[in-house]
Amino acid sequence: MSNTINFPNLEAVQKQAADWISAMDRGLSDGENGALQDWLSESPLHGETLVHYASAWDLMDILSPIRELLPLDAAVNSAKESKRRWFGWPVAAACASLLAIAVLLFMENSTPDPALKPLFTAVYQTEVGEQSEVVLPDQSRLKLNTGSRLKVTFSDQSRQVELISGEAYFEVAKNPQLPFVVIARDRAITAVGTAFNIELRDKQSVEVLVTEGKVAITDPPMTETPDSHVAIAVEQAVYLSGGQKIQLDGVDYGPVTPVEEFDLESSLAWQQGMIVFQGESLHQALAEISRYTAVDFKIIDDQIRDIEVGGYFKAGDTEQLLFVLGENFAIHSELEGNTWLLSRKTTP
């Protein structure tokens, strides 16, 4: 008979608990509900860890259907106590309902002050032609457009997102004690509870469009603490309210301009998988369409470069685009490798 005592794999339990929290937040199937109950019955540590995560992410309500399986009061107290003896937060794959997105959760255990440790860190990205929606632990919602990448870092002092590439729409859950800060290149866009769109357009340009509430844009972004950033925002911020947008180019702030309802719908049409053009030149339209497809476009006839394009196009539908250009503008298209060459049709 063996006298060996096998201690539980704490890292594995933490990862499983984080996965279950993510699954419960989106809703469990009957099969998953049974599997969760089996997992909880295996060890008291499982229930304690599950409550620990739900408490840290303010998601205790999702535990209601299984309250009878969890000594919640004891578990919460135990979870609070465990914060003093656990080191960091685990890797967790929370991508069950995010088919088009890559999610990476990882440990942050190098900061000696527990108050500064991230409670939640994730990287989300979409490939060319993909779009996806993410619900964060605070119930804020992010919508990522094609070819986008961002990093989320939540602590008990701040909610921060770094938009690394592409475009994203943010619906921020209200929490006056924890401002929501988006870092976009050399700017910080701060909100408490609002909705806004940010697009990284080229090497320097950033467009911010607010649909609801109010945001503060500061330069430079947060470099020390959330409190110091809030102080900078109050004194030096450019403020945008719902129905306004601004173009940021390098160190320059463009004017704050109002956005008409149709322009607002056009700017956000990507969320319905559409692109809207209102008289843009052909080369501008092709640059926008290229964001949604792996093929390239090249205008080899300068006569068609500045033709104005208007209408609704399905993002990534190259065939529809080429058909419209051929029928309406007499533009010939020829595929060479991975590039469509565009020129004026010659008359026979």
CB-neighbour burial class of residue 256 (10 A; exposed 0-12, middle 13-18, buried 19+): middle
Residue 183: the pLDDT is: 92
Distance CA 230, CA 181 (A): 10
- 102-258 CATH, one of 2.60.120.1440, 1.10.150.120, 3.30.470.20, 3.40.605.10: 2.60.120.1440
Domain boundaries, the chain: 10-82, 102-258, 273-344
Residue 220 preceded by cis peptide, ω within 30: yes
Residues in the chain: 348
Instruction: Using the Cα atoms of residue 54, residue 60, residue 7 and residue 81 in order, give the sign of their dihedral.
Output: positive
Fold of the domain spanning 273-344: Phage tail protein beta-alpha-beta fold (3.55.50)
Distance CA 111, CA 143 (A): 31
Residue 184: the pLDDT is: 92
Residue 146: the pLDDT is: 94
Residue 176: the pLDDT is: 79
Residue 16: the pLDDT is: 81
DSSP 72-120: HHHHHHHHHHHTTT--S-------TT-TT-EEEE------S-GGGS-SE
pLDDT in tens, 10-59: 667 777 877 787 778 777 888 888 888 888 888 877 887 788 767 655 56
* Ranges of residues in the chain whose predicted pLDDT is under 70: 1-11, 53, 55-59, 71-117, 203, 220-236, 347-348
The pair of structure tokens assigned to 284 is: 């501008």
